[in-house]
Amino acid sequence: MSIRESIDGRPMSRYQVMVVGLCLAIVLSEGYDLLLMAFAAPEIAGEWGLSGSQIGILLSSALIGMALGSALLAPLADRIGRRPLTLACLLLVAISMGLASISASLLQLGLFRFLTGLGIGGLVASLPVITAEFSPQRRRGTMIALYTMGLPLGGVLGGIVATLLTSSYGWRASFVAGAVLTFLLLIVVYLRMPESIDYLLARRPEGALKEINRVLPRMGLDAIAKLPDEVKREAQGVRTAIVAGPNGVRSILLGGAFFLMMSAFYFAASWTPKLLQQSGFSAQQGISGGVLLNIGGAVAILVFSFLAITVRSRILTIGALVGAAASFLAMSAAIGNLTLALVVTVALGAFVNTSATGLYALAPDCYPASVRATAIGWASALGRIGAIVSPIIAGLLIDRDWTPSALFVVFAIPLLVGALLIVGIKLPADETRIDPDINGAHQFGVRVQEV
């Protein structure tokens, strides 16, 4: 019996629950670090007299770093291991968050936010894989759903901390809190986080057998006498994976949908608190809107994971995109009424988050197993471009006196177009769904190495 079969055939041990819980704690912390700027932006803009376009640059700086971190740092996880990369990225995030708290100019803060995003981008290489590997097959979907809830829950945490600290100590205190939280997690990860068994079996570094046998008994499994025989996988060209034949059409449609969805997603996540305040609400009410947006997203992701058991991902994704567009239009009409706007914000967060979850659930169905990682990585890269440019575009439009109501109407259009692109995708008839652990990993831009 293989190690994987042994893990799948047993209930989760306390050690496995600890590892998965630690991954959730890390992604929750990084959700706080990534989304904190949306809550701090109004006070920073007031202190430094920033324009809308300058705020947009600040909001996008971490996203630019995240994109580059995914492209440049994430591949190191397959060379040096998930654990070392996780430690290095947590250290980078902790230091950059601390430096952001003492920044004295737009340029300095933008640079430190870029470094924070760089570290977060690198973290996505290890956490979903570890979460999936330490979960039995029957529990992977639930564990990955709980993991993906970490980002919006981190946004909720950011809003709460910003509310408690900003009024008394200023916006810098929120960044100090993030630096301290990340540094504490760094210590816990160093003491408790094991290396990925997947990595140890695939790369077989020195001491791999000893490390595997150190972890297995903690999971209630027997040690192994030797490493299993290696399984070689046939390489697949990038051109075949992305642009050749029917895959090319699917890649264009799917990549376009990712770009449009992420544009609207990060507009909502980055600008909603500021736009509520610009519409006449207080800074605290704007922060409350951002918190509710993330609460709606966290709850909706969990609901999506249950619905996906019986409803096809394609149908759920189209419905989520249409619902998100309707929520944007509703926000355009409701933004002048505080109670109604906050209610709509919950729905907006729910639909825009499930749109993202739906695309990542649908994407593996679009390709044969041999090319999934490459093709989905390409689509995710396009999505990150949309995530970077949309906050900047929103800031430029605000500088040209666009109203919050008009902005929500504009960003509803890409969501409807994205739904139409998904309608146009023809799935391969002979394809089976990818395992939910790999599916969840790709949601955060991970290039999973199958063994």
Please report how many Cα atoms fall inside a 13 Å half-sphere around the Cα of residue 146, on the Cβ side: 16
Q: What is the DSSP string of 62-112?
A: HHHHHHHIIIIIGGGHHHH-HHHHHHHHHHHHHHHHHHHTT--SHHHHHHH
Q: pTM score, two decimals? A: 0.72
* Mean pLDDT on 83-96: 94
For 178-192, the pLDDT digits (tens) are 999 999 999 999 999
CB-CB contact of 406 with 97 (8 Å): no
* pLDDT of 393 above 50: yes
Mean pLDDT over each residue of the chain, to the nearest integer: 81
Instruction: Quickly state the pLDDT bin for 125 (edges 50, 70, 90).
Output: low
Q: Give percent above pLDDT 90 in the chain.
A: 26
Q: How confident is the model at residue 451 (pLDDT cuts 50, 70, 90)?
A: very low
Cite the residue boundaries of each domain of the chain with CATH code 1.20.1250.20.
1-231, 236-451
Predicted confidence (pLDDT) per residue in 400-417, tens digit:
889 989 999 999 999 999
Neighbours of 344 (CB within 10 A): 26
Token look-up 């009424």 returns 337
In the chain, the amino acid numbered 231 is V
Torsion of the alpha carbons at 140, 142, 143 and 148, rounded to the nearest 10:
120
Residue 241 has pLDDT above 60, yes or no: no
Spatial CA neighbour of 150 closest among 302, 345, 372, 378:
302
Options 3.90.1150.10, 3.40.50.720, 3.40.605.10, 1.20.1250.20; CATH for 1-231 is 1.20.1250.20
Cβ pair 293, 272 in contact under 8 A: yes
Contacts for 46 with CB less than 8 Å, ≥ 6 apart: none
Which of 123-137, 146-160, 393-407, 429-443 has the highest average model confidence (pLDDT)? 393-407
Helices and strands in the chain: count of H runs, count of E runs: 20, 0
State the fold for domain 236-451.
Growth Hormone; Chain: A; (1.20.1250)
Q: pLDDT, tens digit, for every residue of 59-78?
A: 889 888 888 887 778 767 77
